[in-house]
Amino acid sequence: MSPDPERVAAFIREAAEEDIMPRFRSLEAHEVTEKKPGDVVTVADHDAEERLTRRLNGLTPGALVVGEEGAHQKPHLLDRLDEEQGPLWIIDPVDGTANFAASKPTFAVMIAYVVGGETRLGWIYDPVEEVMAFAELGAGAEWGGKPLRINNVPDQLTGRVNFGPIDNHHRPSVRKHLEAEYTLKKSMSCAGQEFIAMARGGAQFRFYNRLWAWDHAPGVLLVREAGGYVERQDGKPYRPTERTQGLLCAPDVERWHEINEILMPD
């Protein structure tokens, strides 16, 4: 039996109210550290993940809970992602930590519930606007409790592209071709907010480089259940536990192939 989505949503809101928002624009210097150069983490990340882990363990005893910060401290947990077939929780306590630490309001809390390598439930919460995005496999998506559906796709698509997987030789021509066909925007440095933007029609496509379960599992489900098309660039099915390169999101399968043909030059 799947967990009660409202209870999970309540846990997320609790973490936002108790651990995250009181620190927003109030962080002390010692409360921000680097996991590696350029990759920051804050006390809010640690406290929110600890709270959510405790709550989810209590909700589904025996299920594996993997958070971004826990996986950084214990890398062997990433191996368990590939092996785990039973219930699995994936947590990103503060997606967009660099924005959060810089007092920018573009961040989110993300949770995915995965069974057998398939995301069944996904939550993305905007703590600043206090609005929840939620998706259930086969049952649709919602934003603030209202159905979420990708409609009225414009002729001129807008999107974001990570050029990392494209080799240096082809990169200039790929960028030129994309800019001739589409409107490119800068990364929001927050995958959760980018997935929300695509599901709500604020952008139509996104190409990601290296995949991490906490960054993408709930968002892929959200966009798919809102009617979009998301797959690995190589055409193989996306699995939330895999760490590979090249994930393309688009409003439909036809535009997915159009964009991917540009991204994968001969």
Which pLDDT does position 39 carry in this prediction?
83
Query: Which residues of the chain have a pLDDT value below 50?
Result: none
Statement to judge: residues 114 and 172 lie in one domain: no
Which pLDDT does position 262 carry in this prediction?
94
Pairing of strands 158-161, 205-210: parallel
Instruction: Examine residue 153 and state whether it is found in any structural domain, yes or no.
Output: no
Amino acid residing at 23: R
Statement to judge: residues 29 and 104 lie in one domain: yes
Statement to judge: residues 66 and 167 lie in one domain: no
List, for residues 94-149, the tens digit of each pLDDT value: 999 999 999 999 999 999 999 988 999 999 999 999 999 999 999 999 999 999 99
On whether the pTM is more than 0.75, the answer is yes
Q: Which two tokens stand for residue 20?
A: 């995250």
Q: What is the count of structural domains for the chain?
A: 2
Q: Which of 122, 148, 174 is the last residue of a domain?
A: 148
Burial class (CB in 10 A: 0-12, 13-18, 19+), 112: buried
Q: Which of 84, 119, 148 is the last residue of a domain?
A: 148
Give the Å distances, CA to CA, from 30 to 36, 43, 99. Answer: 16, 9, 17
Which pLDDT does position 78 carry in this prediction?
66
Statement to judge: residues 120 and 167 lie in one domain: no
Residue-number span of the structural domain to which 41 is assigned: 5-148
Instruction: Examine residue 233 and state whether it is found in any structural domain, yes or no.
Output: yes
Statement to judge: residues 9 and 140 lie in one domain: yes
Q: Which residues contact 111 (CB under 8 A, 6 or more apart)?
A: 8, 12, 52, 56, 89, 90, 91, 92, 122, 123, 218
Statement to judge: residues 114 and 162 lie in one domain: no
